[in-house]
Amino acid sequence: MRILITNDDGIYSPGIAALARIALRFGEVRVVAPDVEQSSMGHAVTHSRPLSYKKSPIEFDGIEAYRVNGTPADCVALGTHLWTKTDVVLSGINMGPNLGNGMWHSGTLAAAKQAVLLGIKGIALSTPVGKTEPDFAALEPFVEETLGLLLKTPGLSLFNVNFPEQPRGMRWTRQSVRLYDGKIVPGTDPMGRKHYWFTVTPLEPADEGTDRWAVENGYVSVTPLRLDLTNEDALRSVQQQV
């Protein structure tokens, strides 16, 4: 199996090093990641300037690794072009969760989506982060178990996986759909000029069976996704009125 690994935290992230090390147990691995952090970049692609890649300044034991002057989606497009017959794209392990409506702006998930757009299985993996970086060594057996399950799943598929800090099991989940948790917080810089932070607010409790509920209750959340955004109920409703 040929496994391409990327992320949105950049080539220097400990999360991508942990994922690459685990993925090597399942096949041949290559890392192609942004040269700088691209968090919350969403599915942006670069079209106004050329892309380039260079050898990674970080050594990945037994793995070819490169950095790209582009977005996570760019890395997948370029990586699969340079490394033909890629079987699966893994994105992560992201430093921070990608749950509920946060999926919409996730660069981590966008990389997995870009893989599916190109006809390749895509898996995004994330974990919460606090004042210290995640304990990737403790998560390792759960990451390996999850990959063992999803890599053998047949067909073209897209999965969003979130690991709690101390997993106690795994759950298949659906996306938690709530009002978006973003808000603008105004402030001033040392020169007295106005500036604004885009941040998040606490949400109401998540429904049982959702990705947020699973992680909040200590379970690895595995959410199967699709690229078709069509609202089937609304479509049928308006078609019946014609």
pTM: 0.93
Q: Residue 79: which pLDDT band, with cuts at 50, 70 and 90?
A: very high
pLDDT tens sequence across 159-180 = 999 999 999 999 999 999 876 5
- The pLDDT score that the predictor gives to residue 101 is 85
Contact 171, 219 (CB under 8 A): yes
- Report how far residue 105's alpha carbon sits from residue 144's, in angstroms, rounded to the nearest whole number: 26
Q: Above 90 in pLDDT, residue 149? A: yes
Position 130 pLDDT exceeds 90: no
Q: What is the chain's mean pLDDT, rounded?
A: 94
Which residue stretches of the chain are H helix?
14-23, 72-82, 107-117, 136-150, 211-216, 232-241
Residues in the chain: 242
Helix, strand, or coil (residue 106) = coil
Mean pLDDT score, 190-205 = 84
Q: Say if residue 17's pLDDT is above 90.
A: yes
| Strand 53-55 relative to strand 64-68, pairing | antiparallel
- pLDDT tens digits, 27-75: 999 999 999 999 989 999 999 999 999 999 999 999 999 999 999 999 9
Q: With H, G, I as helix, E, B as strand and everything else as coil, classify residue 156.
A: coil
Query: What pLDDT is recorded for position 164?
Result: 97
